């Protein structure tokens, strides 16, 4: 992202800064100047060559003028969104170490606060995340539902889904190596950018550390950009979509196992549980559970294969080994076997009906053949169609050739 005409880019002969401080900004005139001054003073006291970058997302309240007046590099970002602003600011950073934090006055950019982040990077970590619960949350700085429900719940999900060490997934004060940033290749544009950074770092096996950070009430004279319920759902949705095991695989396995076990028992006859009797009606719901569970398991495979192919997840050798064994040919053969088994059960049911001269049959007897038949037929079709879809995902497609526009005529 180029700088505006009155904010010239750094001269090539300028000494490279050691630390870049990136501040995303959207109408933060009340607090931006104090944040820039605190960060500049912290870098000067530490004896570090630094630069302060204000990634402005379209401010109209004089924030841009404040940034220029205090000597910060101004990076205008046309696309709205927290992720867009931070991405442009970090891309513009020239130093090997980058610190980022909100410009609303809620985070302390003084030396005692920033130094632990820099020390953790120098110790070999790739990403350092602040922990507001360890550093302290001042009165009025965070709504109770975020402090006691939203943040702890989402952070626990992040640790469970991705084995991340972070206990505060959404702290806005962070530091990372520019080399790690280039590997992360983040894609989101909104508030879920904070989650994506930790998720991608965890999946890539980067070294992540946490240091205490304090959170103060922001200095705005207007409501914050954050919308707790909407943004909380976006964070959770992102983590679920990046974790097909928890969204699809584990629920699918549970459904499939419960349906198969109980359904297998009901094939032998009714199940009496005290005054309760489970029969063919329950068997039908067991078949639905088996089919839904299998579909969910398939979706977990599809999602992971697609994410790896698109670069959203790193390569997984174990998964690639399984995928090689799940070839199109193997899927077609397996699906055909299920279809044949289903047809065999269906033919058996018809023969039994014929043996009684196609008269009335007991549903309790007939459905014990018909339901498994329909289940196997559907499973076979799912396997065949799923194998074709995986085959399409596995194609090595070359880029489309450019049209010659008559050049070779």
Residue range 41-86, pLDDT digits in tens: 999 999 999 999 999 999 999 999 999 999 999 999 999 989 999 9
Do 191 and 282 belong to one domain?
A: no
Do 134 and 172 belong to one domain?
A: yes
Do 133 and 175 belong to one domain?
A: yes
Distance CA 174, CA 86 (A): 11
Do 96 and 193 belong to one domain?
A: yes
- Edge-to-edge strand list for the sheet holding 174-177: 73-76, 50-56, 19-25, 97-100, 174-177, 127-131, 208-212
Query: What percent of the chain has pLDDT above 90?
Result: 63
For residue 2, pLDDT beyond 50: no
- Reference 287, options 308, 310, 266, 316; nearest CA is 266
Query: What's the structural domain count of the chain?
Result: 2
Q: Please tell me the chain's helix, strand, coil percentages from 3-state DSSP, rounded to the nearest 5.
A: 55, 10, 35
| Region of residue 51 (phi > 0: left; psi between -120 and 50: alpha; otherwise: beta) | beta
For 45, the domain range is: 19-219+227-241
Distance CA 127, CA 208 (A): 5
Do 180 and 318 belong to one domain?
A: no
- Reference 118, options 215, 48, 219, 66; nearest CA is 48
Q: How confident is residue 11, by pLDDT bands cut at 50, 70 and 90?
A: low
User: Do residues 206 and 178 touch, judged by C-beta distance below 8 A?
Assistant: no
- Reference 28, options 57, 1, 69; nearest CA is 57
For residue 337, pLDDT beyond 80: yes
Considering the domain boundaries, does residue 39 fall inside one? yes
Distance CA 355, CA 95 (A): 84
Do 307 and 318 belong to one domain?
A: yes
Distance CA 31, CA 104 (A): 5
- Reference 86, options 41, 24, 33, 28; nearest CA is 24
- What is the pLDDT, as a whole number, of residue 242? 84
Contacts of 303 (CB under 8 A, 6+ apart): 241, 244, 247, 248
Do 49 and 93 belong to one domain?
A: yes
- What is the pLDDT, as a whole number, of residue 318? 85
Query: What percent of the chain has pLDDT above 70?
Result: 90
- What is the pLDDT, as a whole number, of residue 124? 96
- Reference 32, options 97, 109, 140; nearest CA is 109
């Amino acid at each position: 992202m180029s700088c505006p005409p009155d904010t010239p880019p750094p001269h090539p002969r300028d000494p490279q800064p050691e630390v870049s401080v990136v501040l995303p900004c959207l109408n933060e005139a009340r607090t931006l100047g104090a944040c820039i001054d605190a960060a500049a003073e912290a870098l000067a006291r530490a004896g570090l060559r630094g630069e302060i970058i204000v990634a402005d997302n379209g401010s109209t309240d004089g924030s841009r003028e404040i940034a220029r007046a205090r000597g910060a590099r101004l990076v205008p970002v046309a696309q709205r969104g927290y992720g867009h602003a931070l991405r442009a600011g970090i891309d513009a950073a020239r130093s090997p170490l980058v610190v980022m934090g909100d410009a609303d006055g809620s985070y302390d950019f003084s030396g005692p606060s920033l130094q632990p982040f820099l020390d953790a990077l120098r110790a070999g970590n790739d990403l350092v995340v602040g922990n507001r619960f360890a550093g302290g949350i001042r009165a009025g700085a965070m709504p109770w539902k975020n402090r006691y429900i939203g943040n702890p719940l989402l952070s626990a999900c992040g640790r469970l889904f991705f084995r991340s060490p972070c206990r505060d997934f959404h702290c806005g004060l962070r530091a990372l190596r520019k080399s790690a940033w280039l590997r992360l290749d983040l894609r989101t544009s909104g508030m879920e950018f904070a989650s994506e950074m930790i998720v991608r770092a965890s999946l890539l096996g980067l070294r992540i550390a946490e240091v205490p950070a304090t959170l103060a009430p922001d200095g705005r004279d207007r409501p914050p950009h954050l919308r707790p319920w909407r943004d909380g759902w976006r964070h959770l949705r992102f983590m679920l979509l990046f974790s097909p095991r928890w969204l699809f695989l584990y629920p699918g396995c549970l459904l499939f196992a419960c349906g198969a076990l109980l359904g297998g028992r009901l094939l032998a006859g009714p199940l009496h549980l005290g005054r309760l009797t489970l029969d063919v009606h329950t068997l039908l719901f067991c078949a639905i559970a088996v089919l839904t569970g299998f579909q969910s398991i398939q979706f977990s495979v599809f999602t992971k294969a697609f994410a790896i192919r698109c670069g959203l997840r790193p390569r997984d050798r174990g998964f690639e080994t399984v995928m090689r064994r799940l070839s199109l040919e193997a899927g077609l053969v397996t699906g055909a076997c299920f279809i044949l088994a289903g047809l065999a059960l269906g033919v058996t049911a018809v023969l039994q009906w014929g043996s009684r001269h196609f008269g009335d049959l007991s549903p309790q007897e007939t459905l014990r053949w018909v339901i498994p038949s329909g289940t196997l037929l559907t499973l076979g079709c799912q396997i065949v169609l799923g194998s074709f879809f995986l085959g399409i995902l596995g194609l090595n497609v070359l880029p489309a050739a450019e049209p010659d526009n008559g050049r070779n005529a």
